[in-house]
Amino acid sequence: MKFNKKVVVPMLIGLLIAASGVQAAVRPALTRIVALESDKETPIKLINDDKNHDYLVQSWIEDQQGNDKGLPLILTPPLFKISAGREGRLRMVILPGKIPQDRESVYWLWIQEIPPVSKSKENQLQLAVRTRLKVFVRPTDLKEKSADTLKALTWQVSHEGGKAWFGGEKSDGILRQLL
């Protein structure tokens, strides 16, 4: 298949220019959340980088299968307004006795910005950016510390059928093919 350079090159340049102007106005201060069961609550700071517009923020938590019902976590407020250039906070509370005590649990925190309605009479494209953060919930009674667990791991590289495989004793027998 042959491409017409007079059509493809301007299209690619236009896409690059259009994509460079897109950014989230509301962003989390962290890239992941570590919540300890022993803490009363875990604060999550959000920042509105847009100095001119207020935004609504909708947030929720899901497990790794995408379920948001019956979780041992409560996130408040689920919907709030964050003023232009200001910070906002979410509160995450772990329900006592509801998380597994023998391991850390992983959940997803979703944060969606809802942009204001434009007062301009011109046509505009507004995007609502949805951000997903990983939430690690650590039980109080977990005996091993994360650093000690890392030291206990052993890794191996094996060669089979002309391919190199990477795995370890504590990886449940799962081997990953090296690229």
What tens digit of pLDDT does each residue of 7-20 get? 778 888 877 776 65
Domain boundaries, the chain: 23-142, 144-179
Closest C-alpha among 92, 91, 104, 93 to residue 140: 104
For the stretch 164-171, contacts whose Cβ atoms lie closer than 8 Å and that sit 24 or more positions apart, written own/partner, are none
Can you give the pTM of this predicted structure? 0.69
- Is 178 a residue whose pLDDT tops 50? no
Q: What is the CATH number of domain 23-142?
A: 2.60.40.10
- Is 158 a residue whose pLDDT tops 50? yes
